[in-house]
């Protein structure tokens, strides 16, 4: 069922697991920021963060022996795809739920005129 | 004013929240029913209390890829074979003692609790009790008077918790029973006390002090 | 109406008057938690300190029980705080609520006195009924369990009846259902069984389903209200997001329970369930990140209570790091086999409890203080603002320092005790004597004192901030309630 982490991989496991979550958040953050401020230049950075996430997930998968079984390989896939799409989905939700706030949502920057 | 898409509407998410919660909860109930049948005393994973009449070991299982408890020959605790009811009463008294004396706020049991003292999951099998012949008595003595038995270089002693002899024996029964639970290989890499039957010319008592000074 | 800038209960509605009582007791218990945490920490360094008088087990029990109770008091107080605003009418049955507050507080005091003076009893049921139950976090003896349930039922009656008679907002609806779940779960911890596996199975229902499900949703409700108050975000949006959060939290958190069922005797399929849902658990946190960026982009962060907002931000970060990052680092069974029950767990436990919950209750203390003083100015240019800033800094730095110290200790312990030495008695002490561990425990203590200093400042600040302030609170850019 599981193949426990080898002693020499402990650090790698902790570190890559932390990086998965940190990169995931950074990607989401940059993605949202680029859209909300209409700074398309930031978008490549967002995807760079996602690449960091991919690398972290793969390192975690090696260190924690996740490729040893089909189920855990599936979890790896799930993380790769899920974290790629989640910020997109959540972004759409943000726009959707704030529809009343911003009638012309598709045109203006998301800045409150105050 | 643009309208809110259905997938971004309050009512859609209200319903989703309810369904997701209800669905997860129902799944948890079914899993709980199944788990309960797998861990009631007398199941394969959690043996009946009368298991304390037997030798309990902890051996690597190639197929499952971790150590599992193995129930061996008859080896009654304190040389008394108990019925299931008697065994349950004894283990239960031990469990009550662990709760009444608050063991879990210093020790972990099955890895849960506090981190000030060693994990007790396999305390019954700990090599530091010396040999299997003296173990039971050593454990009783230790539980009743731990304050003048220090086994580590840090000076961290277990306090006297006013444990009576009856409570101590019951606690040992509880610890022995707990060692028989199939914990999916936790703790890993544990070397149990030697429980093999001594060769005819009983040479095992030659190890000197049964609980050596150790650590730090 | 009294002068602005003085504490005057005329500034508060009925529910809020009761809330500040709960907050006061919560703050006192927070102090007690810190004192007993420091005592327990010292015993790691000097094992003979108070040995046989207040043993580690006693100090630790008071430490974590005070934690649970002060947070619950904070939550109950916060619920009373927003009740009349939300429901639009005075609290139904407020006199009962007041009576129950005193009964509850008295019961807590008696329990603590018995913990300290009697400590332990004979190994039979009488001890479980009268002294302590010996089960981590829910040690309170059975008589107190029953008392707690009775008190909480009265509290629940106040909340549900007030919403029912007034209006049921979205926040109100979620709050009421969540409270049913939160206190229903407590019943799962109120029985005795000799079977340690069954015992721990249900014990985790209480602990995990509290902190990773019902408490998260409860603070979600409080945050929703807090955001309307401090930033003036619109209700419809806030409530839709509350539902989204409930779906994500409960969807990942309920079955996330599986990450505690790897090693307690339960079947191997919990590896899969625990692994799968642990991978999902960060999703709600990602959602919060995206949404908060969106919100800060669309509302210009004009807010009327700087300390409260600062603590809300601390909450967002604390929840993300303490629960999200620290949780995920040790949650997969492949590594949890070795981190299980080590200082690793303690590192995560401190970070998550403080980051997710203590911070938010403190934010509510500040919201309450502002209103109590007559809704005075609490934005920029506040007299004596250094105090809340230093309190914020010392508490957060102190906590992060403690968490890092325990992380290093746990890292060493997971390798030496768990992996190499196989968790034997000898192996345990080999790991405890390792320099990384010993130094980790010293640094935990040093940062613990820093944390305690922050607490002293916090109390001082709560007693003084806004005193004599005459300016009214800054207005929102949007108006909050509908
Ligand atoms: C002065 C600051 C503090 C010190 C010195 C301190 C010290 C300790 C110690 C020594 C333990 C026992 C750990 C063990 O079993 O080995 C503990 C447990 C615990 N403390 Fe603290 N603590 C402090 C503040 C806090 C705060 C502010 C919180 C949360 C808001 C907290 C939450 C906890 C929790 C949840 C546990 C149980 C951890 C577990 O079982 O994994 N502590 N603390
Ligand atoms: C605010 C939310 C959370 C709080 C307050 C919290 C608190 C705690 C505490 C106090 C413990 C130690 C329990 C004990 O005394 O034995 C614990 C254990 C644990 N937590 Fe959390 N937690 C939170 C969220 C999470 C999340 C999101 C994850 C995973 C992604 C997680 C994973 C774990 C695991 C795997 C353990 C078991 C540690 C062990 O095996 O010893 N937690 N949590
Ligand atoms: Fe959990």
Q: Determine the 3-state secondary structure of C481 from DSSP.
A: coil
In a shared domain, residues B104 and B37: no
Same domain, B85 and B143: yes
Q: How many domains does chain B have?
A: 2
| pLDDT at A58 > cutoff 70 | yes
Rg (CA), chain A: 18
- Residues B210, B130 contacting (CB under 8 angstroms): yes
**Angstrom distance (rounded) from CA B171 to CA C37:** 29
Q: Pick from C244, C293, C300: which is nearest to A32 by CB?
A: C293
B161 shares a domain with B86:
yes
What residues of chain A lie within 8 A of the CB of B66, using their CB? Answer: 4
Question: At B96, which CATH number?
Answer: 1.10.760.10
**What is the position in ligand 1's atom list of the atom closest to the CA of C41?**
10
Question: ipTM for the complex?
Answer: 0.93
Residue C434 Cα to ligand 2 midpoint, Å, equals 25
C445 lines ligand 2 (CB under 6 A): no
Give C143 Cα–ligand 2 centroid separation in angstroms.
28
For residues B89 and B101, give the distance between their C-alpha atoms in angstroms, rounded to a whole number. Answer: 18
Ligand closest to Cα of C209 equals 3
Instruction: Specify the range with the lowest mean pLDDT, choosing from C26-35, C405-414, C469-478.
Output: C469-478
Q: Is B4 on the interface with A (CB under 8 A)?
A: yes
C375 pLDDT more than 60:
yes
Q: Which domain holds residue C144?
A: 17-168
Ligand minimally distant from the alpha carbon of residue C278: 2
State which of C71, C206, C212, C286 you would mutate to test the pocket of ligand 2, scoring each by most atoms of that ligand within 8 A of its C-beta: C212
- Write out pLDDT tens, residues B140-163: 999 999 999 999 999 999 999 999
Interface of A with C in 40-59 (CB under 8 A): none
Is B207 part of any domain? no
pLDDT, position C93: 95
Residue A82 Cα, gap to closest chain C Cα (Å): 9
Q: Does residue C267 belong to any structural domain of this protein?
A: no
Q: Which residues span the domain enclosing A71?
A: 7-98
- C237, C290, C300: residue with CB nearest A32: C290
pLDDT for residue C479 is more than 60: no
In DSSP notation, C10-25 reads: GGS-HHHHHHHHHHHH
User: Is residue B29 domain-resident?
Assistant: yes
Look at residue C296 and tell me if it is in a domain: no
CA B198 to CA B133: how far, in whole Å?
10
Instruction: Report CA(C307)–ligand 1 centroid distance (Å).
Output: 25
pLDDT score of C228: 81
In the numeric block, which tokens belong to residue C178?
Answer: 């969540």
Which pLDDT tens digit goes with each residue over C194-235?
A: 999 999 999 999 999 999 999 999 999 998 898 887 777 788
Q: What is the pLDDT of residue C470?
A: 84
Q: What is the pLDDT of residues C294-340, one digit of tens each?
A: 877 666 656 788 999 899 989 989 999 999 999 999 999 999 999 99
Question: Would you say residue B63 lies in a domain?
Answer: yes
Cα B94 to ligand 2 centroid, rounded to whole Å:
28
DSSP C166: S
Element (H, E) at B73: strand B66-74
Are both B26 and B68 inside the same structural domain?
no
Query: Is C200–B45 a contact, with Cβ atoms under 8 angstroms apart?
Result: no
How much is the average pLDDT of C353-357? Answer: 97
Nearest to C337 by CA among C274, C400, C398: C274
Question: Pick from B5, B28, B44: which residue ends a domain?
Answer: B44
> Could you tell me if residue C27 is inside a domain?
yes
Q: Residues C469, C37: contact at Cβ < 8 Å?
A: no
Question: Is A33 within a domain?
Answer: yes
Report the 3 state secondary structure along B82-133.
Answer: CCHHHHHHHHHHHHHHHHHCCHHHCCEECCEECCCCCCCCCHHHCHHHCCHH
- At B97-110, the pLDDT tens digits run 999 999 999 999 99
Residue C373 lies in a domain: no
| Predicted pLDDT of residue C227 | 80
Number of domains in chain A: 1
Q: Which of A7, A36, A78 has the CB atom closest to C415's CB atom? A: A7
Name residue, tokens 């034997």: C424
Q: How many Å apart are CA C90 and CA C85, to the nearest integer?
A: 9
- Whether residue C308 lies inside any domain: the answer is no
pLDDT at C381: 79
Pairwise CB contact (< 8 Å): B2 & A3: no
Question: Which residue in this structure is represented by tokens 């049991």?
Answer: B109
Q: Is-cis flag, bond preceding C318, omega within 30?
A: no
Mean pLDDT of C392-412: 98
Both structure tokens of C158: 């106040």
pLDDT at C184 over 70: yes
SS3 string of C81-94? HHHHHHHCCCCCCH
Q: Chain B contacts of C196, Cβ < 8 Å?
A: 95, 109-110, 174, 178, 181
Q: In this structure, are B69 and B164 located in the same domain?
A: yes
Asked whether residue A113 is domain-assigned, the answer is no
Gap between the Cα atoms of C171 and B9, Å rounded = 16
Do B178 and B73 share a structural domain? yes
In a domain, A59, yes or no: yes
Q: Tell me which chain A residues have a C-beta less than 8 angstroms from the C-beta of B4.
A: 96-97, 99-100
Query: Residue C150: which residues within 8 A CB-CB, separation 6 or more?
Result: none
Mean pLDDT taken over chain A: 86
Comparing B216 with B6, the larger pLDDT belongs to B6
Same domain, B96 and B136: yes
**In terms of domains, do B158 and B176 share one?**
yes
* Candidate from C323, C326, C341, C411 with most ligand 2 atoms within 8 A of CB, to mutate: C323
Q: Are residues B99 and B179 in the same domain?
A: yes
Q: How many Å apart are CA B34 and CA B18, to the nearest integer?
A: 24
What is the pLDDT confidence band of residue C384, given thresholds at 50, 70 and 90? Answer: confident
In a domain, A63, yes or no: yes
The pLDDT > 70 percentage for chain A reads: 86
For C134, which of B92, B100, B110 is closest by C-beta distance?
A: B100
Residue B200 is assigned to a structural domain of this protein:
no
Residue matched to tokens 């918790």: B161
pLDDT above 90 covers what percent of chain B?
83
Q: Do A110 and C330 touch (CB under 8 A)?
A: no
Selected residue of C259, C294, C482 to mutate for chain A interface (largest A Cβ count, 10 A): C294
Q: Which chain A residue shows the shortest CA-CA distance from B188? A: A4
Counting the structural domains of chain C, the total is 1
**Which of the residues C290, C332, C406 would you substitute to probe the A interface, choosing the one with the greatest number of A C-beta atoms within 10 Å?**
C290
pLDDT at C362: 97
pLDDT interval class at A100 (50, 70, 90): low
Domain for residue C93, yes or no? Answer: yes
Q: Which residue has the tokens 């939700």?
A: A93
Nearest CB among C287, C325, C477 relative to A21 is that of C325
Confidence of residue C482 (pLDDT cuts 50, 70, 90): very low
Q: Both B88 and B158 in a single domain? A: yes
Q: Is the pLDDT of residue B206 over 50?
A: no
Residue A107 lies in a domain: no
Query: What average pLDDT is seen over chain B?
Result: 91
Indicate if B124 and B39 belong to the same structural domain: no
Residue C392 burial (CB count, 10 A): 21
> Among residues 242-281 of chain C, which lie with CB inside 8 Å of chain B?
243-244, 246-247, 250-251, 254-255, 257, 260-268, 270-271, 273
Please calculate the CA angle A23-A26-A31 and round it to the nearest 5 degrees: 125
The phi, psi pair for C132, rounded to 5°, reads -160, 155
C398 falls within a domain? no
Domain that holds residue B97: 49-194
Residue A103 lies in a domain: no
Closest CA–CA distance from residue C332 to any residue of chain A (Å) = 8
Strand pairing category for B112-113 and B108-109: antiparallel
Does any domain span residue C83?
yes
Q: How far apart are CA C47 and CA C55, in angstroms?
A: 9
Quick one: B175 and B102 in the same domain? yes
Beta-ladder partners of B56: B71
Residue B70: which H helix or E strand, with range? Answer: strand B66-74
C-alpha Rg value of chain C to the nearest Å: 22
Residue C394 has pLDDT above 50, yes or no: yes
């Amino acid at each position: 069922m599981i193949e426990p982490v080898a002693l020499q991989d402990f650090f790698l496991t902790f570190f890559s697991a932390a990086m998965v979550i940190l990169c995931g958040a950074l990607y989401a953050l940059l993605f949202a920021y680029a859209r909300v401020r209409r700074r398309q230049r930031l978008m490549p950075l967002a995807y760079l963060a996602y690449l960091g996430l991919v690398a972290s997930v793969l390192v975690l998968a090696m260190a924690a022996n996740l490729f040893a079984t089909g189920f855990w390989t599936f979890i790896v896939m799930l993380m790769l795809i899920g974290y790629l799409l989640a910020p997109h989905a959540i972004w759409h939700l943000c726009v959707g739920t704030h529809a009343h706030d911003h009638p012309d949502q598709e045109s203006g920057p998301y800045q409150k005129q105050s | 004013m643009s309208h809110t898409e259905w997938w971004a509407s309050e009512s859609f998410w209200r319903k989703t929240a309810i369904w997701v919660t209800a669905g997860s909860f129902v799944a948890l109930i079914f899993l709980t029913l199944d788990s309960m049948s797998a861990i009631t005393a007398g199941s394969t994973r959690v043996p009946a209390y009368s298991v304390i009449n037997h030798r309990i070991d902890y051996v690597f299982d190639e197929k499952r890829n971790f150590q599992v408890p193995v129930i061996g020959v008859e080896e009654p605790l304190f040389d008394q074979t108990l019925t299931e009811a008697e065994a349950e009463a004894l283990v239960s008294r031990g469990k009550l003692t662990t709760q009444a004396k608050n063991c879990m706020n210093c020790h972990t049991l099955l890895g849960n609790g506090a981190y000030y003292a060693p994990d007790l999951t396999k305390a019954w099998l700990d090599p530091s009790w010396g040999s299997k012949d003296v173990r039971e008595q050593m454990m009783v003595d230790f539980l009743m008077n731990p304050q003048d038995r220090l086994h580590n270089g840090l000076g961290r002693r277990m306090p006297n918790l006013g444990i009576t002899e009856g409570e101590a024996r019951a606690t040992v029964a509880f610890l022995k029973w707990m060692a028989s639970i199939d914990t999916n290989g936790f703790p890993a890499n544990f070397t149990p006390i030697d429980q093999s039957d001594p060769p005819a010319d009983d040479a095992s008592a030659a190890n000197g002090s049964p609980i050596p000074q150790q650590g730090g | 109406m009294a002068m602005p800038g003085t504490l005057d209960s005329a500034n508060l509605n009925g529910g809020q008057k009761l809330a500040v009582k709960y907050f006061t007791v919560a703050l006192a218990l927070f102090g007690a938690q810190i004192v007993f945490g420091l005592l327990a920490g010292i015993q790691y360094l000097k094992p003979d300190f108070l040995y046989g008088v207040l043993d580690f087990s006693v100090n630790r029990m008071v430490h974590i029980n005070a934690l649970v109770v002060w947070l619950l008091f904070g939550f109950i107080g916060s619920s009373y705080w927003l009740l009349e605003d939300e429901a639009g009418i005075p609290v139904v049955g407020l006199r009962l609520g007041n009576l129950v507050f005193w009964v509850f507080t008295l019961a807590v005091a008696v329990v603590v006195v018995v913990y300290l003076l009697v400590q332990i009893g004979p190994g039979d049921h009488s001890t479980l009924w009268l002294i302590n139950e010996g089960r981590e976090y829910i040690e309170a003896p059975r008589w107190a369990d029953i008392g707690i349930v009775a008190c909480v039922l009265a509290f629940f009656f106040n909340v549900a009846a007030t919403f029912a008679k007034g209006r049921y907002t979205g926040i109100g609806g979620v709050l009421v259902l969540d409270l049913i779940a939160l206190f229903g779960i407590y019943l799962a911890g109120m029985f005795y069984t000799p079977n340690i596996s069954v015992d721990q199975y249900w014990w985790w229902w209480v602990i995990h389903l509290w902190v990773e499900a019902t408490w998260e949703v409860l603070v979600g409700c409080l945050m929703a209200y807090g955001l309307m108050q401090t930033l003036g975000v619109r209700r419809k949006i806030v409530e839709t997001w509350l539902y989204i959060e409930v779906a994500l939290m409960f969807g990942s958190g309920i079955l996330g329970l599986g990450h505690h069922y790897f090693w307690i005797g339960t079947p191997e399929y919990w590896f899969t369930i625990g692994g799968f849902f642990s991978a999902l658990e960060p999703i709600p946190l990602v959602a919060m990140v995206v949404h908060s960026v969106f919100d800060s982009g669309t509302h210009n962060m004009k807010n009327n209570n700087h300390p409260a907002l600062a603590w809300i931000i601390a909450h967002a970060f604390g929840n993300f790091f303490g629960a999200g990052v620290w949780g995920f680092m040790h949650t997969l069974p492949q590594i949890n086999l070795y981190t299980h029950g080590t200082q690793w767990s303690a590192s995560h436990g401190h970070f998550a409890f403080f980051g997710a919950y203590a911070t938010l209750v403190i934010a509510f203390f500040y919201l309450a203080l502002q209103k109590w003083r007559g809704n005075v100015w609490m934005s920029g240019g506040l007299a004596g603002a250094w105090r809340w800033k230093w309190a914020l800094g010392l508490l957060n730095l102190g906590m992060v320092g403690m968490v890092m110290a325990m992380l290093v200790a746990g890292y060493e312990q997971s390798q030496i005790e768990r992996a190499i030495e196989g968790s034997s008695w000898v192996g345990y002490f080999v790991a405890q004597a390792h320099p990384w561990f010993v130094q980790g425990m010293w640094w935990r203590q040093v940062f613990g004192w820093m944390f305690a200093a922050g607490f002293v400042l916090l109390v001082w600040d709560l007693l003084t901030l806004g005193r004599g302030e005459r300016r009214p609170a800054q207005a929102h850019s949007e108006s909050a309630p509908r």
